[in-house]
Amino acid sequence: MEGNLSQFIFSGITTGAIYALIALGFCIVENSMKIVNFAQGDFLTLGGMVVFTLLHSFHIPLFLAFCVAVGVAALVGAAMERLTLRPARSKETVVLVFITIGASIFMRGGIKLLWGKSPKSLPYFSGEVPVSLLGARILPQAFWIVGGTLLVFLGLQYFYRYTRQGKAMKAVAYDPEAAALMGINVEAMMMLSFALAGGVGAVAGVLIIPITTMTFDMGVVLGLKGFAAAVLGGYGDVMGAVVGGLLLGVLESLGAGLISSTFKDVIAFVVLLLVLFVRPQGILGKDEGERV
């Protein structure tokens, strides 16, 4: 039983790291435009599909394929902001959110058209021999996923705290008019936020495709899980996104292993609702003026 519990926890951490990466993408857009980008999960799918094509069809080295996939998703994210959100010229949050839903449907249709309905997968990055740790057997790909999430988290922490662009992005979120008066290019910051969100989503897609088959519509479910993780941890909080993602992943794994896999998703979202009932701002939620 102890070994099974360790297996469930480590499996949950791996899954939760993916949720955390997606949640970080939501946080990036929240910290610049104060909206929910429901196309975030589709960036994951796009990154996975691009790296699949580069590795499977063109046999490009992994690192280069990874960089290209992230770059493509970042360009698509920037184009999404420039071509769909900016022309709306609306300050109504609900209008912008619905635009992101429309962009998600469009992206999903484009991915289906380019890559078809058949599932895509790739070999593990560093072998298939599992590593034994505290009674659990962990695939090497899990270390790639957790390590990638950690690097993205640390990079975003540094970006928001110590770079001019990161501070400008937060200033735009708090008060776009005041930020513009201070000489900040508001439109450029908003476009940069979507580019960063797209790149982070692609990182998740590249890391996850060796452990699960990638389909054109899998970003829908994963996007909702990432959104739940972001809300659970404290929407817009970078640390909260990681905590929420890991907690959601572990809860799902424990629920599937100890109760039933049928209720895996139900258990996770019930816990989410209970947390929000007790603490609506999430586990690490802060006041607007204190957000990272």
Cβ atoms of 81 and 198 closer than 8 Å: no
Q: Which of 185, 264, 277 is nearest to 16 (CA)?
A: 264
pLDDT digits (tens, 9 = 90+) for 191-247: 999 999 999 999 999 999 998 889 998 988 899 889 989 988 888 888 989 999 999
Q: How do the domains of the chain map onto residue ranges? A: 2-290
Which residues, 6+ apart, have CB-to-CB distance to 175 below 8 Å? none
Tokens standing for 176? 């776009």
pLDDT of residue 212: 86
pLDDT of residue 287: 53
Is the predicted pLDDT of residue 184 greater than 60, yes or no? yes
Tokens standing for 34? 């104060």
pLDDT of residue 254: 84
pLDDT of residue 289: 44
pLDDT of residue 3: 52
Give the largest Cα separation in the chain, rounded: 62
pLDDT of residue 4: 77
pLDDT digits (tens, 9 = 90+) for 88-128: 866 678 888 999 999 999 999 999 999 988 999 888 888 77
pLDDT digits (tens, 9 = 90+) for 232-285: 888 888 898 999 999 999 988 888 777 776 767 777 677 778 877 887 787 776
Which residues, 6+ apart, have CB-to-CB distance to 270 below 8 Å? none
Fold for domain 2-290? Answer: ABC transporter involved in vitamin B12 uptake, BtuC (1.10.3470)
pLDDT of residue 290: 45
| DSSP classification of residue 289 | G
pLDDT band at 286 (very low <50, low <70, confident <90, very high): low
Mean pLDDT in the chain?
A: 87
Percent share of the chain, pLDDT over 70 = 93
Provide DSSP, 151-191.
HHHHHHHHHHHH-HHHHHHHHHHH-HHHHHHTT--HHHHHH
pLDDT band at 291 (very low <50, low <70, confident <90, very high): very low
Is the predicted pLDDT of residue 31 greater than 60, yes or no? yes
Of 16-25, 156-165, 169-178, 279-288, minimum mean pLDDT range: 279-288
Which residues, 6+ apart, have CB-to-CB distance to 126 below 8 Å? 140, 141, 144
Which residues, 6+ apart, have CB-to-CB distance to 110 below 8 Å? none
Cβ atoms of 252 and 270 closer than 8 Å: no
Is the predicted pLDDT of residue 292 greater than 70, yes or no? no
Is the predicted pLDDT of residue 86 greater than 80, yes or no? yes
pLDDT band at 146 (very low <50, low <70, confident <90, very high): very high
pLDDT of residue 69: 95
Cβ atoms of 125 and 144 closer than 8 Å: yes
Q: What angle do CA 103, 106, 108 make, to 5 degrees?
A: 110
| DSSP classification of residue 119 | -
Cβ atoms of 219 and 43 closer than 8 Å: yes
